[in-house]
Structure formats: C-alpha cells, structure tokens
Structure 1
C-alpha cells in the first residue's frame, strides 16, 4: 500500500515538472520527463509494485534467490574446472581421429603418411590428381589478378 502511494506521488510530481517545463516552451524535454513520470504509475497499475514489495519482504523469496545463486555458482564452477583441465566431459572419447584421412595427407608430411621420403615423386602432367596440375590453375588465377 505504501509503495503504491509513493509511486503515485512520484508520478504526479513528475507530471507537474513536465507541465512547468512545457510552460517554458521546452516541449521535447517536457515530453521526455512525462514519459519517465508515467513509468511508476504504469508499474502500480499492472500490479508489479505489489508483487515486488511482497517479494522483497518475504524470507522464502530471498531463500529462493539464494538457492538460485548457489546453483549458478555450481554451474559456473564446474565449467571453469572443465576449461582449466582442457577438455569437456566425454570430448576426448567422442572425437573421431580424422574425417577424411586422404584429404589431410599432403599437410601431414612424409613420416606421418607412412610413405618413404626416399621414393621419387610421380611424373608431372600425366595424372589428373597430380599436385602440379592443381597448383597451375591457382597460379594462373593469381597471375591474372597481378598477385
């Protein structure tokens, strides 16, 4: 009851200040002050002020906020520990090794591909999958653009 009265008085005072401001020919500022003054009145009319006042003075509501805060701390703490360890639960077991092993073979090097570095490379230009043909197209595009 007291909270509703205070909010209504604040709204009335704000509307009075807006009227004085409008009388001084500062209409834009007066409209802005009136808008701010109507917010507490709207909160009273919707019942939000009564709900907030009941919640603010309720020990059960404060205990509920404490429980929610504790739950949030547990979530945040476990997340921080997972990040500190460098992995998430089950992420190491669920990761596949390689989706397409042949696609990443050129970037791995000879030792990881299982090929012998002493073997000679295949002849250039005879096969469609040859790396020389692949890069010649790219070189032509770069030369065309002056790069």
Structure 2
C-alpha cells in the first residue's frame, strides 16, 4: 500500500513539473517529463508494483535469484576456461566439421604438376636447367604450411 501511494505521488509531482515546463514554452521537454512521470502510475495500475513488493520480501524469490545468479556464474566461468584452455568452442567445431565435409576432391590436384625434366635444351647442350623441380612432389608438410600458420594464428 505504501509503495502504491509513493508511486502515485511521484507521478503527480512529475506531472506538475511537466506543467511548469510547458508553461515556459518548452513543450518537447514537457512531453518527455510527462511520459516519464506516467510510468510509475502505469506500474501501479498493472499490479507490477504489488508483485515487485511481494517478491522483494519473499525468501523464496531471493533463493530463486541466488540460483539464477549461480547458474550465470557457472556459464561465465566455463566460457572463460574454454577460451583460455584452447578447447574449441561451438563455432570452431562447426568450422572444422564443414572443412572436413568439403575436403579436397583430388588431393594431387593442389600439388604442382611440374614433373622431372628429361629432355635436353633446344641448343643441344645439356648444361642448362632440366625443367621443373628435381624433388618430384612436395612433402605434405610443405603443402599445408600456410594453412597451418593461419590456423595457429586463429588458435585452432
């Protein structure tokens, strides 16, 4: 009962201030003040104030708020630990699964197709380059070193 009376008094005082502001020909500010002053009255009429007062003095409600706070703290703690330990989160797992599904159709297609050159140069001398790489296919760690660097940069 006291909370409802207090809210009604705040609304009446706010409407009085809005009237004085309108008298000074500051209509936009007066309308804004009137809107703010009608909020407590609306809360009283909807019963929200009575509910809030009943909740504020209810031990069961405070226990419920404590349980909700504990759940929030657990969520925040597990997220912080997940970020620090490098455990992949939901986004990283989805990206890894999508990358695995995409996979290369022909892994050899990404390797350079330069074979060993066996033909002699056009001049007839064999002193020039023989063409291509001499080592054949590149080692697997060479092919993916740039990808590994990107993944390490992003912590994956």
Cα shift readout 1:49-77 (whole Å, capped 9, x = no counterpart): 11111111111111111111111111221
Q: Please say if 1:99 is aligned against 2:127.
A: no
Structure 1 stretches of 4+ with a deviation exceeding 4 A read: none
TM-superposed CA distance for 1:84, in Å, is 2.0
**Cα distance in structure 2, aligned partners of 1:104 and 1:32:** 68
TM-superposed CA distance for 1:79, in Å, is 2.1
CA contact (8 A) 1:105 1:113 kept: no
- How many residues in Structure 1 have an aligned counterpart in Structure 2? 112
**Cα distance in structure 1, aligned partners of 2:21 and 2:110:** 76
**Cα distance in structure 1, aligned partners of 2:70 and 2:109:** 46
Cα shift readout 1:13-62 (whole Å, capped 9, x = no counterpart): 11111112212222122111111111111111111111111111111111
Output the TM-score relative to the length of structure 1.
0.64
Alignment of 1:1-147 (within 5 A): 1-88=1-88, 91=93, 95=97, 96=100, 99-100=103-104, 102=107, 105-106=110-111, 110-112=138-140
- List gaps (5 residues or longer) in structure 1: 116-147
**How large is the Cα RMSD of the aligned pairs?**
3.2
Q: Mean alpha-carbon deviation: is it higher for 80-89 or for 35-44?
A: 80-89
Output the TM-score relative to the length of structure 2.
0.60
